[in-house]
Structure 1
């Protein structure tokens, strides 16, 4: 093509008709190429893609939605308190969605009250979403989703996994507590996550089950909020009133706060008290001492959720749906040791 063939688009973004003129085809043909239609000759499609690249044409998503009656929009319902795991899963969902030609619209719950849950879902549905992913939902979100019987595919994804990828949080918690018991600890505390979080409940059940299986008396779990600040404040109180030699925290951030409290009162980890977390956030390996924790594949879980949703929408992704990213692994570092005698 010569310079004189290039349409004049000074002062505005190039349009689909500009692409059509440059490629010497109809704008309907350009539309078919944009929508990956197979009913075109390869040489025609190549000519259109060359024109798109030359003009740096970006398809208008709103116009495509009107023309195709497809919004290509996925709704994501997030928790009111996003965590590292939630953020990692949402990033993975967004990457997988973009690769498949979809976009995300995200709403975080103001509270976990039923009216707020319904209002948030209604807000997403008003945007003509084609599917919904509920990420790390509080326990009361699931029955509301079932009750609403939404007219679009729904995927529920948490650290516990997806509908097709199950992550046994209870087993992960039991592995953490078992590690402490095998080191010789018998007085083990548990700082749990919020009462209405599915993950927190499963991890607390794992703590109680492993203590019971070893004929040890569990201490009443302390319900936290996933934050390092809570771990710190709870640590100051627990270290004043309890004679435990080990703590299993429901996530790494509360474990970090607890370790701060240990240092603040002049004691040390693991010489005076061992600490285990859960999640293996990137910072865990760089704490001092490095934190023993339970690792899980948040990115894999988020990608699997989007793959499953695309399958429900009839979209082939080429991903191996038989692989299971929801594997937990105990990572032993320097924050745990046998109790001092």
Structure 2
């Protein structure tokens, strides 16, 4: 074989490198791959699949949406899959189609994928019911409960409740008596987790749990919620389930004469690219999309290539609260004989 001759190794060693087998030194692997590149050699995946019983491909089931979270996570999964040397096959589902996941999985299994990633953030079954499909290849589920039985089911991401709890406790630590929540649509697992984290934080600190306002992830729904919340003088802090709603909320508050953060503090979730450039810059929870994709795919590939081995251990994603200028301690209310807090300190308004 020309590659073996140019690299100065045996054909067996070349085969081991191309099949990504262990016990090949880094130097030998580099020489073989450089030789293959010089000769313009492209690995015959079909032939290798026949020999190994694997197609070196991973399928991804994802919601067809341009929303920041799911779209960013898909990009992270795509980068990691390609870095592992596997081919990527993506099937989009559509919101509102209960049979979407089952059909997408069947399509991927028909293509002979070696593993499947489920990045499907919505409970289309209306109660977390299992999807009627059985899968014999390893499955990685990101940020949701496993939707169907499989021989090997791994999970990654999730724990948005911990991140939401940190966001809520940040506002409580600043001195706010309670925190209102602008929730996402409750068919989304992420929205449920964030609401649960908010509620848990309030209960753990002995605070009142006020009514929830639900949006649809859009800035427009945040604006509508903000107009309603601005009319309530008791509102001093709001945790929004994503940054887009938080930005819409802040605009409505300012238009209603409620200053951010002097009158109302606002925290978002995701840390979208514009979050640090709105006025005021938004305090938010940064989601570790790349970390979740890297760890999850590492565990999935290990399960594919080592079917008899124990799964690699999982770890909780870090909580990364990015504190900017949209949050501050509550301003004491002005009452007869008391002052009003300003940027320069206390100013007595009732004194001559």
Contact persistence 1:252–1:281 (CA under 8 A): yes
For residue 261 of structure 1, report the CA deviation from its aligned partner: 2.1
Contact persistence 1:167–1:327 (CA under 8 A): no
Structure-2 separation of matches of 1:103 and 1:151: 19
Structure-2 separation of matches of 1:166 and 1:152: 20
Match of 2:282 in 1: 291
Q: Which has the higher strand share?
A: 2
Structure-2 separation of matches of 1:339 and 1:39: 62
Q: Which has the higher helix share?
A: 1
Match of 1:204 in 2: 195
Match of 1:222 in 2: 213
Give the 3-state SS of the residue equivalent to 1:205 in structure 2.
helix
Match of 1:173 in 2: 164
Unaligned runs of 5+ in 2: 147-152, 334-352
Structure-1 separation of matches of 2:318 and 2:7: 50
Unaligned runs of 5+ in 1: 1-16
Match of 1:102 in 2: 86
TM-aligned CA distance change 1:149 to 1:265, over 3 Å: same
Contact persistence 1:167–1:328 (CA under 8 A): no
For residue 152 of structure 1, report the CA deviation from its aligned partner: 0.8
Give the 3-state SS of the residue equivalent to 2:191 in structure 1.
helix
The alignment of Structure 1 onto Structure 2 pairs a total of residues equal to 321
TM-aligned CA distance change 1:263 to 1:52, over 3 Å: same
Matches within 5 A, 1:305-320: 305-315=296-306
Task: Flag the structure with more relative contact order, 1 or 2, with Cα contacts below 8 A and sequence separation at least 6.
Answer: 1
Match of 2:60 in 1: 76
Contact persistence 2:61–2:119 (CA under 8 A): yes
Give the 3-state SS of the residue equivalent to 2:182 in structure 1.
strand
Give the 3-state SS of the residue equivalent to 2:113 in structure 1.
coil
For residue 250 of structure 1, report the CA deviation from its aligned partner: 0.6
Match of 2:134 in 1: 149
Q: Which of 78-87 and 200-209 deviates more?
A: 78-87
For residue 238 of structure 1, report the CA deviation from its aligned partner: 3.2
User: Please, what TM-score do these two structures have when normalized by structure 2?
Assistant: 0.76
TM-aligned CA distance change 1:96 to 1:47, over 3 Å: closer
Q: Does 1:55 align with 2:47?
A: no
Q: Does 1:87 align with 2:71?
A: yes
For residue 290 of structure 1, report the CA deviation from its aligned partner: 1.7
Structure-2 separation of matches of 1:42 and 1:272: 60
Matches within 5 A, 1:15-54: 33-36=17-20, 49=33, 51-54=35-38
Deviations 1:194-240 (A, max 9, x none): 21122211211222233334443333212222222321232234324
TM-aligned CA distance change 1:57 to 1:209, over 3 Å: same
Contact persistence 1:156–1:163 (CA under 8 A): yes
